[in-house]
Amino acid sequence: SVSDSVSDSVSDSVSDSVSGSESEKVTLVQAEHISKQDKIIADTSTVQPSDNTEKAAKQISSPAQETTVSSAQNTPIPPSETEIEAADLAKALSAARNATMVKDYTSAERIYFNIVEKHPSANTFGELANVLYADDKIDWARSAWLQSAKLLVADKRYRESMMLANALLPIAPKIAREIGLNTSKIMAVNKASQSNPSHPKPTQPLAQQANPAPQAMQQDPRMLEIQAQQQARQKAYMEQMRKQQALMQQRSKQQPPQAQQSNPVPQAMQQDPRMLEMQAQQQARQKAYMEQMRQQQQARHQAYLEYMRQQAPTQQPPVR
């Protein structure tokens, strides 16, 4: 009985201890499970959106803005008036040069006259002068060369102006000397004004101060007078060119085409009777020059023959 009571008490204590330990384990497991759920809830509350999610949200929220930007970038910018004028000038120069290459001087002159009227420059006046000279319009060519030299001097391209004078010396000596003299004068005035900076400058009104003249003109009033004379001559020259061109077109329309074919005289001579007189004078001078050269050559030949006869040894009779 004693053993039975002891065993019962031991088994009860063991079962109590076992049940107590198991209940404690269950309690610990439940506590861990609850803490993990709290941690998961806390972590999910602090999750940040990814970069792809932000990009997608931005693309969805502002599609109209991106379309506007892309369409603005693809819109072409219209050219300015300066660019259009430069393109038209380049086309006109190309057409005039092509006409000159095929010796269509009438078309080339018409295009060059329009160019120098709207865009006067030293280069275009020089090209016009070359075309006029090739078309036997010597006087007009000289005027165009002179105008080209004046614009070169106005742009301070003195070296090119002197080179033009040297090139014109054989064919237009008077114009060449005038160009060289004017260039030398203006170069001397500019050099003197630069070497003497204390030279008093003339007072200018507000209108002239808004559009200042070159430094040489401000320092020397003679430059203003020269510039005014050049502008007046240029205006008169352009007016004369327009009148002559209109007269040439009127005469070419009035003249029948059969007369042009039966009388193959150069077009410049048909349009201006002064060219006939100049051509006759040139032919007469050329003929006189050739006759003079022939006579001089014949005289030199005769003198050479006479010299050779004098130098030849006298023939002696043979000795027998």
Nearest CA to 136 out of 278, 268, 272, 277 is that of 268
Quick: pLDDT tens for 39-97. Answer: 544 444 444 444 554 554 445 444 444 444 444 444 555 555 555 567 788 888 888 89
pLDDT reported for residue 56: 46
Asked if residue 306 has pLDDT above 70, the reply is yes
The mean pLDDT value for 173-186 works out to 85
Asked if residue 17 has pLDDT above 60, the reply is no
The mean pLDDT value for 171-182 works out to 84
With a threshold of 0.75, does the pTM exceed it?
no
Instruction: For the chain, give the mean pLDDT.
Output: 69
Nearest-angstrom CA–CA distance, 216 and 221: 9
Q: In terms of DSSP H, where are the helices of the chain?
A: 2-45, 51-61, 63-74, 81-101, 105-118, 122-134, 138-154, 158-168, 173-195, 206-210, 215-219, 221-254, 257-262, 267-271, 273-311
- Contacts of residue 192, defined as CB under 8 A and 6 or more positions apart, other chains included, come to 220
| Domains of the chain with bracketed CATH | 83-193+218-251 (1.25.40)
The mean pLDDT value for 213-237 works out to 67
222 compared with 149, residue with greater pLDDT:
149
Hey, how many other C-beta atoms are within 10 angstroms of the C-beta on 132? 24
Nearest CA to 110 out of 135, 85, 142 is that of 135
Nearest-angstrom CA–CA distance, 304 and 312: 12
pLDDT reported for residue 218: 52
Rg (CA), the chain: 52
Work out the angle at residue 117's Cα, subtended by the Cα atoms of residues 112 and 123, and round it to the nearest 5 degrees: 55
pLDDT reported for residue 276: 80
Asked if residue 31 has pLDDT above 60, the reply is no
Token reading at 281: 């004078």
Quick: pLDDT tens for 237-248. Answer: 777 777 777 777
Nearest-angstrom CA–CA distance, 16 and 229: 134
Nearest CA to 270 out of 109, 134, 112, 137 is that of 137
Nearest-angstrom CA–CA distance, 164 and 144: 12
Q: Are 124 and 115 in contact (CB under 8 A)?
A: yes
- Contacts of residue 294, defined as CB under 8 A and 6 or more positions apart, other chains included, come to none
Residue 136 zone, left/alpha/beta (φ > 0; ψ -120 to 50; rest): left
Quick: pLDDT tens for 105-134. Answer: 888 888 888 888 888 888 888 898 888 888
The mean pLDDT value for 163-169 works out to 85
Asked if residue 207 has pLDDT above 50, the reply is no
Q: Give CB contacts under 8 A, 24+ apart, made by 225-229.
A: 226/186, 227/154
Q: 99: number of CA atoms within 13 Å, CB side?
A: 21
309 compared with 19, residue with greater pLDDT:
309
Out of 220-229, 267-276, 295-304, the most confident range is 295-304
